[in-house]
Amino acid sequence: MYGIVMFVNRKEELEFLERKWNENKANLIILYGRRRVGKTMLIKKFLENKKIKRASIFC
């Protein structure tokens, strides 16, 4: 399956990020976990439809 990106079973995490996004205050969110479990993809998927000027992602 090279070249195919699977994004499944992240509804709960996306809902959490959406709730934090909609709060009217600054938030720091730290994602941690084993390598290659999709942390960066989760953030990219969440931000793909957001209108933002800048996002800092450190991997």
Express each pLDDT in 28-46 by its tens digit.
889 999 998 889 899 989 9
At residue 14, the pLDDT reads 94
CA angle 47, 12, 6 (to 5 degrees): 65
Query: Is residue 28 domain-resident?
Result: yes
Query: Is residue 58 domain-resident?
Result: no
Confidence check: pLDDT of 5 > 80: no
CA gap 30, 26 in Å, rounded: 13
Residue that the structure tokens 């934090």 belong to = 20
Q: How confident is the model at residue 55 (pLDDT cuts 50, 70, 90)?
A: confident
Q: Pick out the residues of the known binding site.
A: 33-40
Residue that the structure tokens 């993809």 belong to = 41
Q: Pick out the residues of the known binding site for ATP.
A: 33-40
- Tell me how far apart the 2 most distant CA atoms of the chain are, in Å: 41
Please give the model's pTM, rounded to 2 decimal places. 0.76
Number of structural domains the chain divides into: 1
User: Cβ(10)–Cβ(42) under 8 Å?
Assistant: yes
Query: Is residue 54 domain-resident?
Result: no
